[in-house]
Structure 1
Amino acid sequence: MKTIQQVFAKSVSAAQKQWLEEHRMYLGDLHNHCAISYGHGSLSKAIAFAQSQLDFFTVTGHFAWPDMEDGSQPIPQRVVDYHKEGFAKLRGVWEEYLEAMRLSASGGIVPFVSYEFHSFKLGDYTIIRKDLYEGFPPDPEGIDTRLDEYLATNDPRKSGIICMPHHIGYKKGYRGINWDRFNETASPIVEIMSMHGASESRYATPAYLHTMGPVCGENTMQGGLARGFRFGVVGSTDHHNASPGAYGSGRAGVWAKEKSQDGIWDGLLAKRTIALTGDPIRIASFLEDRPIGSVVKATGKPMRFDSYILAPSALAYAELLVDNLVVKTFRPNPARSSSKRFNLSLGWGQRDVSAHWKVTLRAEGAAIVDPVPRFKGEYVVDPLSVPTDEALAVPSLRFDGVSISMSCNTSGNISATTDNTQGFGFGLETDGPYSIILHVEAEVAGETFMHDLLLQSDELQHGPSVLYTHGFVSPALRLSEEIDLSECMLEIHESLDLDSGSSLYVRSFSQSGDTAWSTPIWID
């Protein structure tokens, strides 16, 4: 995959180039669930799903809710029982869970261990651990104050534990973040995007639509920054469906020196993080050549800010924010080059009709490069309402340097505003006319439909191509129009007057609806 220093070779400074050569953005999910507590889908499926498209991951067990029954809020008994059953289930499978997470590393992915505290008064936290061997935390004999103690005293560099608040946007006292009890040492990162929605600001999208309620007041990334806190931002799915890294529901980008536990951990502690909805949009920002997550001394004179954005699909625009205010908007400068990007999506059709797809894609007159999987799990808003089986098998994507092969199951979208498709993006390198050849097999309701498509470059330059498997309201395939790489890249260069105590960050929006939020840089 082309790097930022390659694409922006004429713009990056020597110091920035060196930093970029030493770091790479890795993609992961630090908070998601399966049937080891409450949720559905096996742990083995969750691991396989993560291995299909992520660099690092954890699978999170629901662990405790100390104030569930202290009278803080009225809570239905069925909800109490459901949570208690999940907590007990985790305790029964802990050793098997640890062993499976250790073994997952053989699949080329970096694992971490995690478990979750719910709390009305403190907000919910994911406890992320480096140690893949430590036994189950002992339960207290009296009142459970473990989360309080973590937030008051935890130092990740000594403990190997990160306390990550998540779905922070809910109202304080309703399992949203309590900034009065937030400790940036214990919690170097904050989850601001998940299947619950985005909480970067009160206007961020996707909106909170979960059963737990809407975004409230200052319980956002911007609310924490306004209080003077310094933390990195990440996305993670928080899905309860054994699908870590499900596209569109939240992912974490971490700039790290190496793909290892130590490398990823150091990136998290240094706050070199990007919160993503889905696509691995790379944002590399520098203030006076210092990267995201840095604290830079005020100089009393204009300071140089540079940011480079590189996405797998077309960008719409990016915004630079200083002290939570948009100071400037930037757009790509489309041009013609030899590098192209495409997106392929599979799905649609009737809601209760499943399709099993096998698709092979190759090209003539061009070289295929940089495939990017976009795999989703089942959409579940209320964890008490889950499918009775694992309807979606783990998708697979294979690239042999010449062709891309994808296998997946889809079913119709559950609503007209919910995208339940599967797909991938890919690039072409070409200096002239080219063609894309697709072989499609789709098994629908016991029948197999086969199609071969030959698409020429001149038609791909004018719009997307669509194939229906077998007529009206049948499952369909969509190949996007040609996207020049210049539409997927954007750079920012500004001279800024910045005061001590300020923060600045970049957020980027794609034509596809993907969003990326960078961790800020702070002025001391």
Structure 2
Amino acid sequence: MDRRDFLKASGWSLLGLAASGSLLSCVGGKSNDRKLPEELKRNFESLKDMKVFWGDIHNHCNVTYGHGDLEDALAAAREQLDFCAVTPHALWPDIPGENDPRLNWVIGYHTEAFKRLRAGGWDKYVRKTREANDPGKFLSFTSYECHSMEHGDHVALCYDYDTPLLECTSVPDLKEKLRKYKVFVTPHHMGYQTGFRGYEWKAFTDDDPQLPFVEMFSRHGLAEGDMGDYDYLHDMGPRVWEGSVLYGLEQGHKFGLMCSTDQHAGYPGSYGDGRIGVLAESLDRDKLWDAMSKRHVCGITGDKIKIDFRINGAMMGDVIKAGKREIYLNVEAQNFIDYVDLIKNGRCVARLNGPFLAQNPEGDVVRAKIKIDFGWNREEEYVHWQGRLKLSEGEIRDVQTCFRGAAFTSPQPGEHRFKTRVNRLLDRSAQHVELDMYSSKNPNVMTPAQQGVVLDVEMPRRATITADFNGQQISYTLDELLQGAKAHFMRGWLSEAIQFNRAAPESAFAIGTYMEDSDAERDTDYYYVRVRQRDGQWAWATPIWVERA
């Protein structure tokens, strides 16, 4: 059964499928004459000014326990995020250990950190966070974390800098005490076993202004379900079905989907560890907060994958009434798309596959996305990369930084005090990008520690991209990179290296479709989108809920 037959059998109508670099240009496809309904055209036009702003609202440094100074953490965040909250560990009302000698260390380790926070640490943290705020350019928020065996760990994200650090007897008690403040209280690493810091869905209340979204992915793993990528490997235990996002959706709950790093080495937004995207009109504190409260959020592991997903004009996070559901979907990735899934009521009802190997694009001038990675050190010492990437002809349309923090959660041998190495994009123009980066040894063959950037270019095939770093110049034509990846050791075999990844033409990184569904399966159906790139980076759009008309 091919995809069209499958969709037809599932009650779906696929009206068009095409690839395009524009998030709004490929509806209806290039292969037929079907046009987007005029009503949907108007709805899409009304949202043309919306933008996606990227942040990390749950990560740690040495304010309590963790590594790296707060100032460096905020500096790292500014290099690749629009907003951020660095998160002190603050509370654990039901901390275990009193009756189990194996866990005695837990009490001392955490309570000492909590004491440091209250002994002047909180006031200093708030002051430095406030100083980092730069309206319109970078927004900073305060937050703090409450552990709980019974209800699962939660992060309180605060709108106002004067929101107090409160004491509590439980997570519900904390939420009740915070009712008078503008605060979101978000569960994270939800997939652990209930009663052992996994999420307790029985405590969830729909339309709770404190809980518009949940954190489904972080360094702990992915809690979309109990299977699939990013298993839970921490010693806190395996993931289970009852804590997962799909379990909560199947209980009929409505909540947004987002990701955070939960990074413990002072690097908010560390590439591959999790980020939140917010669809808002501008980088304004009120507009961003309002968009988050409406669940207009998405989650990514690392790459800033744009998902434009609408049903009858409604956007992710919305609840509508409808009979026929006119579904518009367009995705712009940062690398080769593996597949895009449309999930309805816990079932994958449509899959759009990206090309296994993209066809050679037509024309002499080509738009493509090219990721360049720096790393593969053999020695323990950091490699300091200084230099630039430059085009001989053409234009760099956009740059995405792929900067990682340290992959460990403890200081390394020989380091008396861990210092965060902040990677920076120093300068950029239409023809060059200047970078200052630090790469460390990959800690094992499954954990990357490279730094990188993605260049969105439009350039002639014969034109070259040159990496001029640490006294060496390496050049490849766009045509060569469309044929495959290239690599270069800086000091011979078993030294640090640069990788030019295979260039992804538009047909590989952008895909879109318009579909119709008239099958109301429940009183309220939910639909959401998941995107996987060939390099293992993921994105998820918050569901749209459709009530029976």
TM over 0.5: yes
Output aligned runs, 1:227-266, within 5 Å.
227-266=251-290
Give the Cα–Cα distance (whole angstroms) in 1 for the partners of residues 413 and 260 of structure 2: 21
Output aligned runs, 1:364-443, within 5 Å.
364-380=392-408, 388-390=416-418, 392-397=420-425, 398-441=427-470
Aligned-partner residue type, residue 421 of structure 1: Q
Give the Cα–Cα distance (whole angstroms) in 2 for the partners of residues 67 and 172 of structure 1: 14
Does residue 503 (structure 1) correspond to residue 526 (structure 2)? The answer is yes
Pair 1:392–1:59, CA change in 2 (3 A): closer
Does residue 28 (structure 1) correspond to residue 55 (structure 2)? The answer is yes
Give the Cα–Cα distance (whole angstroms) in 1 for the partners of residues 122 and 228 of structure 2: 37
Q: Single out whichever of 196-205 and 369-378 deviates more from structure 2.
A: 196-205
Deviation, 1:135, is 3.9
Q: Single out whichever of 328-337 and 424-433 deviates more from structure 2.
A: 328-337
- The residue that corresponds to 1:487 in the other structure is 508
Which of the residues 306, 309, 330 maps onto 2:328?
306
Q: SS where residue 191 of structure 1 aligns?
A: strand
Output aligned runs, 1:24-103, within 5 Å.
24-69=51-96, 76-91=103-118, 92-103=120-131
Give the Cα–Cα distance (whole angstroms) in 2 for the partners of residues 190 and 63 of structure 1: 20
- Structure 2 alignment gaps of length 5 or more: 1-20, 30-34
Provide the aligned length of Structure 1 versus Structure 2: 506
Deviations 1:275-310 (A, max 9, x none): 1100111112111111110111142xx321111111
- The residue that corresponds to 1:512 in the other structure is 535
Which of the residues 125, 140, 160 maps onto 1:111?
140
- Structure 1 alignment gaps of length 5 or more: 442-449
Give the Cα–Cα distance (whole angstroms) in 1 for the partners of residues 115 and 461 of structure 2: 62
Give the Cα–Cα distance (whole angstroms) in 2 for the partners of residues 400 and 298 of structure 1: 47
- The residue that corresponds to 2:6 in the other structure is none
Deviation, 1:70, is 7.9
Deviation, 1:72, is 8.9
Output aligned runs, 1:216-365, within 5 Å.
216-299=240-323, 302-332=324-354, 336=361, 338-350=366-378, 352-365=380-393
Which of the residues 202, 205, 212 maps onto 1:183?
205
Pair 1:311–1:153, CA change in 2 (3 A): same
Aligned-partner residue type, residue 100 of structure 1: K
Q: SS where residue 22 of structure 1 aligns?
A: coil
Q: SS where residue 24 of structure 2 aligns?
A: helix
Pair 1:20–1:3, CA change in 2 (3 A): farther
Give the Cα–Cα distance (whole angstroms) in 2 for the partners of residues 386 and 213 of structure 1: 31
Deviations 1:214-258 (A, max 9, x none): 101221110110111100011000011110000000100111111
Deviations 1:165-219 (A, max 9, x none): 0000000011010011122313111000100011111113211111211101221
Aligned-partner residue type, residue 147 of structure 2: H
- The answer as to whether partners of 1:297 and 1:500 remain within 8 angstroms in 2 is no
- The residue that corresponds to 1:445 in the other structure is none
- The residue that corresponds to 1:472 in the other structure is 493
Give the Cα–Cα distance (whole angstroms) in 2 for the partners of residues 236 and 171 of structure 1: 20
State the TM-score, normalized to the length of structure 2. 0.87
Give the Cα–Cα distance (whole angstroms) in 1 for the partners of residues 237 and 486 of structure 2: 39
- The answer as to whether partners of 2:336 and 2:508 remain within 8 angstroms in 1 is yes
Q: SS where residue 455 of structure 1 aligns?
A: strand
Q: SS where residue 107 of structure 2 aligns?
A: helix
Give the Cα–Cα distance (whole angstroms) in 2 for the partners of residues 385 and 188 of structure 1: 42
Pair 1:83–1:430, CA change in 2 (3 A): same
User: Identity of aligned pairs, percent?
Assistant: 28
Deviation, 1:6, is 5.5
Deviation, 1:81, is 0.8
Aligned-partner residue type, residue 159 of structure 2: K
- The residue that corresponds to 1:444 in the other structure is none
Deviations 1:101-124 (A, max 9, x none): 111123821111100100000110
Aligned-partner residue type, residue 507 of structure 1: R
Q: Single out whichever of 510-519 and 485-494 deviates more from structure 2.
A: 485-494
Larger relative contact order (Cα-Cα within 8 Å, sequence gap ≥ 6): 2
Does residue 5 (structure 1) correspond to residue 5 (structure 2)? The answer is no
Q: Single out whichever of 367-376 and 398-407 deviates more from structure 2.
A: 398-407
Give the Cα–Cα distance (whole angstroms) in 2 for the partners of residues 382 and 396 of structure 1: 24
Deviation, 1:359, is 2.7
Deviation, 1:422, is 0.5
Pair 1:415–1:145, CA change in 2 (3 A): same
State the TM-score, normalized to the length of structure 1. 0.91
Output aligned runs, 1:194-213, within 5 Å.
194-213=218-237
Give the Cα–Cα distance (whole angstroms) in 1 for the partners of residues 375 and 216 of structure 2: 28
Pair 1:55–1:6, CA change in 2 (3 A): farther
Q: Pairwise CA RMSD of aligned residues?
A: 2.3
- The answer as to whether partners of 2:55 and 2:83 remain within 8 angstroms in 1 is yes
- The answer as to whether partners of 2:396 and 2:429 remain within 8 angstroms in 1 is no
Deviations 1:151-177 (A, max 9, x none): 46866xx63110100000000011010
Q: Single out whichever of 126-135 and 225-234 deviates more from structure 2.
A: 126-135
- The residue that corresponds to 1:454 in the other structure is 475
Give the Cα–Cα distance (whole angstroms) in 2 for the partners of residues 471 and 298 of structure 1: 63
Give the Cα–Cα distance (whole angstroms) in 2 for the partners of residues 168 and 43 of structure 1: 26
Give the Cα–Cα distance (whole angstroms) in 2 for the partners of residues 396 and 370 of structure 1: 16
Q: SS where residue 205 of structure 2 aligns?
A: coil
Deviation, 1:263, is 1.5
Aligned-partner residue type, residue 367 of structure 2: S
Deviation, 1:457, is 2.8
Output aligned runs, 1:141-156, within 5 Å.
144-145=168-169, 147-151=171-175
